[in-house]
Structure 1
Amino acid sequence: MTTADDNRATDPQDTATGPAPGAPVARRSSAVRTIGVVALATLAGAVAGALALYGMNRLPGNAPQGQSVASVPAPAPSGAAADPACAGTVERVRAFAPLAKGELAAIALASEPRRLPPLTFTDASGKPVTLADFKGRVVLLNLWATWCVPCRKEMPALDHLEKRLGGPDFAVVAVNLDTRDPDKPRAFLSEIGVNSLAFYSDPATKTFQALRGVGRGFGLPTTLLVDRDGCEMAYLAGPAEWGGADAEALVKAAIGAGRADAAGSSSAASR
């Protein structure tokens, strides 16, 4: 005698995993899983693209093998950067906080007294230069490399800012971090017509590592606005339009903020 079970077993739509009515459910589950995998892959690709674009958390490109920052856990900001002598800088920065807007809306103005660690790099002739050599001038310190696309894009803007405001009160100090072929960054700057910026380099990336040690070097470009005494005024991770009106207004305010103090110090020293 034929039973319902017999009919179901011989149904050509049956499979080893169950009867035919369950198959559409399995297909739907598989489709959902596939869509999920594709979505995750797309998200991962977007994140990877963003990290590559800004060079965040690593030194990619032409850095020698084993010199990537990605493999090293990011250290916590060091308390060694804190300096009560920089308290006046924080007060002065508050006065021009409204200028951190527009093209510079992402910049972080100093909210605690911080002094940058000793930074050493070389000039165009290979002579050692330190950040302390710029004492008495407000400095816009920028770390860049030719393999960093946003860095390459902002070099003309930095050159424009130096041309407009560079002098005894202010300097753009752009330090190149290419670790191979020292002629490459020079050639690049020449090709794009950068002629106001002085050339500085640090192929050993010691400046990047020193800033990273105090929580200020997690990708390229990295830019810091430093006052006449080496105290941090502002910090920006990533690119900005440094040749625009917003940047010029903020830098002018930074220059003016410390000018009275600098004049007072010079007068006291001459007595």
Structure 2
Amino acid sequence: MTTDEVAPGNAAPVAAAGTVDRSHKGEAAPNVAFLDAVGKPVNLVDFRGKPVLLNLWATWCAPCIKEMPSLDAAAAAAGDKVHVLAVSQDMQREKVAPFFAERKLDHLAPYTDPEMGLSLSYKANLPTTIMLDAEGRELWRVSGAMDWAGAEAKALIAEANA
């Protein structure tokens, strides 16, 4: 494992940081509840109708923290075309909203998954970002930090609207 990934529990083997993995293309999103900003349970199915860029991260994960500003910029650029969900795997969800406020992450909502259900379902290291199409099927995933405001990421995100 490199310094760009943090692995919870039964995570899958680590690919090189920032590598695009298309081996799960077409797989349905897991039926796992997580919490919105006010603590209400939501599910990925609730976001169908538009593509979803799902980022699994934690406040204690250094590479996650590093990529948050670019993820916020990607959310701003996506506007209403793509749901950009940053879902914290922190067990103490009360840490997440202040983390966003302190860093002025104004285009991301503080979703939380204190049971780490999404990380376990995706067998994901942190950070991992998964692109789902408008029907909730996986297009690709990236393990490790990425510059989400960069040209490569913009091209990847554009695939969901093609």
Same fold (TM > 0.5): yes
Match of 2:108 among 183, 187, 197: 197
Counterparts of 2:109 and 2:95, CA distance in 1: 16
Q: 2:119 aligns with which of 204, 208, 214?
A: 208
1:144-183 equivalent positions in 2, closer than 5 A? 144-167=57-80, 169-180=81-92, 182-183=93-94
Alpha-carbon shift at residue 244 of structure 1 (Å)? 1.3
Q: Which amino acid aligns with 2:104?
A: G
Cα distance change of structure 1 residues 228 and 157 upon mapping to structure 2, 3 Å threshold:
same
Aligned residues: percent identity?
38
Q: For residues 41 and 95 of structure 2, what CA distance do their matches in structure 1 show?
A: 20
**Number of residue pairs the alignment of both structures matches:** 159
**Pairing 1:224–2:135 present:** no
Superposition pairs for residues 227-246 of structure 1, below 5 Å?
Answer: 227-246=133-152
Q: State the distance in 2 between where 1:199 and 1:245 align.
A: 26
In structure 1, the residue matched to 2:158 is 252
Over alpha carbons, which structure has the higher Rg?
A: 1
Change (3 A) 1:153 1:132: same
- Distance across 2 between alignment mates of 1:198 and 1:210: 22
TM-score (norm 1): 0.54
The CA RMSD over aligned residues, in Å, is 2.2
> Cα offset for 1:75?
7.7
Q: Letter of the aligned partner of 1:121 in structure 2? A: F
Q: Which amino acid is 2:154 matched to?
A: E
Unaligned runs of 5+ in 2: none
Cα distance, 1:198 vs structure 2: 1.5
Higher helix share: 1
Does the 8 Å contact 1:110/1:232 carry over to 2?
A: no
- State the AA in 1 paired with 2:45: A
Instruction: Tell me by how many angstroms 1:110 deviates.
Output: 4.7
Moved more, 109-118 or 144-153: 109-118
TM-score for the superposition, normalised by structure 2:
0.88
Shift of residue 111 of structure 1?
6.5
Do 2:25 and 2:140's aligned partners in 1 also have CA atoms closer than 8 Å? no
Amino acid at match of 2:84: V
Greater relative contact order (CA < 8 Å, ≥ 6 in sequence) = 2
